[in-house]
């Protein structure tokens, strides 16, 4: 009897406890945005005077009529403001710190990495980026990002690299096989790139590596079709047969296949491999150089990309972010103080922090700053012209900044997503097309349209409240009033990097 009475009390206590837990969970107050102009890519035109109800992190209603919210709802006066979906950047690397050498683990690098890790997700949010797709980070980098309290929703691809190929060419072989153990062995390269001692070829086939990436929970696979930068053109590639096996294995798992390729010959290989997305724009076509527009061979390739409906990330900031190494005012840009942690910004200005700038200069034969910038700006103009040509064909573009594309301090989280959009505008892309690239095109391409990309009932409440209309001015993206992340309202300035 005693026992059962005690257990009866325990049961009642447990029930009471459960009820209070449920009540406290339900306590997340409703959020209502009154009388706001909704700007959303599925609409033909902005819709003024809408009332938006958000509950438990999702949009519940968008209506011209009053919405029925709980009495204690948080209310935002939306008059004079514009409500958009949060932006998606579909080409980032959250595990890499701009300006730090790959794999650096000395005490200074470690403390800079820590400061960066804390600020990085806040910097993306500061520029309205609420969804990210990481194309190739090590698990530690992903885990460090996911451990931050305020962060965009993160999705990822897994990298399938060929033995000794890009990007592992930048890492010392003894470190390489530890950092990137999941390489694909290419028998066609056996003479120049033999299997490392002790490795088992059966563990490095396309099928085994793609199985492993699929099991890791990635939603896509990124391959690298790159035979060298600048003077180099001897980096190993996958053979046609291996590429076909990679394609078949990704299809078997229902994974999208993305390709790093930015030169015309490399992009041709990507198209022949039937990749789903080109993870870079086309800016490397010196052999066809022309002062304006795109030459016939480039135009034919871009028409093929359009006809085959291959996703295209212009990543215009890749080359611009290298040019910025040589721009004397880069580190004095007021936006840097908002997105770069103070100790990292100070380090960039030191001789140690300029290592990649000097390395890049050496690779160009020791040229002065202005000549280096000129070299990059020529390549950059090719990329911009190719993007405009594709846009004029009616091809939907994908917003991807490739932050950071290289160990350059010229590429910074959030700010580069914004600057990518600005460069698209400078290329002649219409603002509504840029808006779609940042929202609906990205979420559709990567299978996230059930949850993101529009302001509609049922979607995750990752939203931006702007003080200008983004279909009319790029200034809208630098005058964000509030960021709404899964229904939680964040004031923009609270996301800026702390100044010490």
> What is the closest distance, in whole angstroms, from the C-beta atom of residue 350 to Zn ion in the complex?
26
Who contacts 6 (Cβ-Cβ below 8 Å, separation ≥6)? none
Which of 216, 246, 86 has its CA nearest to residue 155?
Answer: 216
> What is the closest distance, in whole angstroms, from the C-beta atom of residue 443 to Zn ion in the complex?
20
CB of 296 closer than 8 Å to CB of 314 = no
> What is the closest distance, in whole angstroms, from the C-beta atom of residue 91 to Zn ion in the complex?
6
| Interacting positions 104-123 with Zn ion (CB under 5 A) | none
Both tokens of 434, joined, read 């840029």
> What is the closest distance, in whole angstroms, from the C-beta atom of residue 317 to Zn ion in the complex?
11
> What is the closest distance, in whole angstroms, from the C-beta atom of residue 77 to Zn ion in the complex?
41
The 10 Å Cβ neighbour count of residue 431 is 17
CB of 313 closer than 8 Å to CB of 395 = no
131/454 with CB nearer Zn ion: 131
| Interacting positions 61-80 with Zn ion (CB under 5 A) | none
Number of residues that bind Zn ion (CB under 5 A): 1
Please tell me the distance from the alpha carbon of residue 462 to that of residue 298, in angstroms, as a whole number: 38
> What is the closest distance, in whole angstroms, from the C-beta atom of residue 261 to Zn ion in the complex?
11
Give, for 62, the enclosing helix (H) or strand (E).
Answer: strand 58-63
Both tokens of 266, joined, read 């490399």
Whether the bond between 151 and the residue before it is cis, its omega within 30 degrees of 0, is no
52/133 with CB nearer Zn ion: 133
Please tell me the distance from the alpha carbon of residue 458 to that of residue 415, in angstroms, as a whole number: 29
Which of 353, 330, 347, 340 has its CA nearest to residue 498?
Answer: 340
Stretch that binds Zn ion, among 71-79, 319-327, 395-403, 426-434 (CB under 5 A): 395-403
| Interacting positions 396-455 with Zn ion (CB under 5 A) | 402
> What is the closest distance, in whole angstroms, from the C-beta atom of residue 93 to Zn ion in the complex?
6
Site string for Zn ion, 268-287 (x = CB under 5 A): --------------------
> What is the closest distance, in whole angstroms, from the C-beta atom of residue 279 to Zn ion in the complex?
6
> What is the closest distance, in whole angstroms, from the C-beta atom of residue 402 to Zn ion in the complex?
4
39/325 with CB nearer Zn ion: 325
Which of 408, 192, 433 has its CA nearest to residue 321?
Answer: 408
402/420 with CB nearer Zn ion: 402
189/360 with CB nearer Zn ion: 360
DSSP result, 360-413 = HHHHTTS--HHHHHHHHHHHHHHHHHHHHHHHHTTPPP-----BSSSS-TT--T
Report angle CA 397, 400, 405 to the nearest 5 degrees.
Answer: 140
The 10 Å Cβ neighbour count of residue 284 is 19
Which of 54, 123, 52, 58 has its CA nearest to residue 83?
Answer: 52
404/470 with CB nearer Zn ion: 404
Report angle CA 84, 85, 87 to the nearest 5 degrees.
Answer: 115
Query: How do strand 58-63 and strand 47-55 relate by DSSP bridges?
Result: antiparallel
228/428 with CB nearer Zn ion: 228
3-state secondary structure of 334: helix
317/459 with CB nearer Zn ion: 317
> What is the closest distance, in whole angstroms, from the C-beta atom of residue 135 to Zn ion in the complex?
5
Please tell me the distance from the alpha carbon of residue 288 to that of residue 296, in angstroms, as a whole number: 9
> What is the closest distance, in whole angstroms, from the C-beta atom of residue 167 to Zn ion in the complex?
8
Query: How do strand 47-55 and strand 463-466 relate by DSSP bridges?
Result: unpaired
The 10 Å Cβ neighbour count of residue 106 is 9
The 10 Å Cβ neighbour count of residue 350 is 10
226/402 with CB nearer Zn ion: 402
Taken in order 167, 206, 401, 307, is the CA torsion positive or negative? positive
402/416 with CB nearer Zn ion: 402
Q: Which residue is nearest to Zn ion (CB)?
A: 402
Stretch that binds Zn ion, among 106-114, 181-189, 322-330, 394-402 (CB under 5 A): 394-402
> What is the closest distance, in whole angstroms, from the C-beta atom of residue 403 to Zn ion in the complex?
8
156/459 with CB nearer Zn ion: 156
276/402 with CB nearer Zn ion: 402
Please give the residue ranges that form the binding site for Zn ion (CB under 5 A).
402
């Amino acid at each position: 009897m005693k026992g059962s009475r005690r257990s009866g009390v325990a049961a009642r206590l447990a029930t009471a406890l459960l009820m209070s837990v449920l009540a406290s969970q339900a306590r997340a107050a409703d959020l209502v945005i009154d009388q706001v102009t909704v700007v959303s890519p599925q609409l033909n035109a902005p819709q003024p005077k809408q009332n938006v109800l958000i509950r438990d992190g999702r949009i519940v209603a968008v209506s011209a009529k009053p919405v029925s919210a709980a009495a204690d709802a948080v209310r935002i006066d939306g008059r004079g403001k514009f409500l958009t979906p949060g932006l998606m950047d579909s080409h980032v690397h959250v595990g890499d710190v701009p300006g730090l050498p790959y794999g650096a683990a000395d005490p200074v690098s470690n403390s800079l990495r820590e400061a960066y890790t804390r600020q990085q997700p806040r910097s993306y949010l500061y520029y309205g980026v609420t969804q990210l797709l990481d194309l190739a980070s090590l698990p530690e980098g992903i885990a460090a990002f996911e451990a931050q309290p305020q962060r965009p929703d993160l999705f990822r691809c897994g990298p399938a690299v060929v033995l000794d190929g890009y990007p592992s060419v930048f890492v010392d072989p003894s470190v390489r096989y530890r950092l990137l153990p999941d390489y694909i062995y290419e028998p066609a390269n056996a003479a120049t790139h033999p299997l490392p001692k002790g490795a088992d070829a059966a563990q490095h086939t396309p099928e085994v590596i793609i199985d492993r990436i699929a099991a890791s929970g990635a939603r896509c696979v990124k391959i690298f079709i790159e035979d060298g930068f600048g003077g180099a053109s001897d980096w190993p590639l996958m053979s046609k047969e291996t590429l076909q096996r990679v394609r078949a294995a990704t299809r078997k798992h229902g994974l999208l296949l993305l390709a790093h390729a930015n030169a015309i010959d490399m992009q041709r290989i990507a198209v022949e491999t039937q990749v789903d997305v080109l993870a870079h724009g086309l800016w490397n076509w010196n052999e066809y150089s022309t002062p304006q527009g795109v030459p016939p061979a480039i135009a034919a390739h871009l028409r093929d990309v359009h006809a085959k409906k291959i996703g295209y990330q212009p990543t215009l900031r890749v080359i611009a972010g290298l040019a910025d190494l040589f721009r004397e005012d880069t580190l004095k840009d007021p936006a840097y103080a908002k997105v770069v942690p103070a100790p990292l910004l100070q380090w960039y200005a030191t001789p140690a922090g300029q290592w990649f700038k000097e390395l890049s200069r050496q690779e160009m034969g020791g040229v002065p700053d202005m000549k280096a910038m000129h070299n990059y700006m020529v390549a950059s103009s090719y990329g911009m012209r190719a993007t405009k040509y594709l846009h004029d064909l009616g091809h939907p573009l994908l917003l991807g900044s490739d932050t950071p594309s290289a160990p350059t301090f010229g590429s910074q989280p959030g700010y580069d997503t914004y600057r990518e959009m600005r460069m698209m505008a400078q290329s002649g892309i219409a603002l509504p097309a840029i808006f779609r690239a940042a929202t609906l095109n990205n979420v559709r391409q990567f299978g996230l349209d059930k949850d993101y990309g529009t302001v509609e009932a049922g979607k995750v409440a990752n939203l931006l409240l702007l003080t200008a209309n983004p279909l009319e001015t790029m200034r809208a993206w630098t005058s964000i009033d509030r960021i709404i992340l899964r229904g939680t309202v964040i004031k923009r300035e609270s996301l800026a990097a702390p100044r010490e």
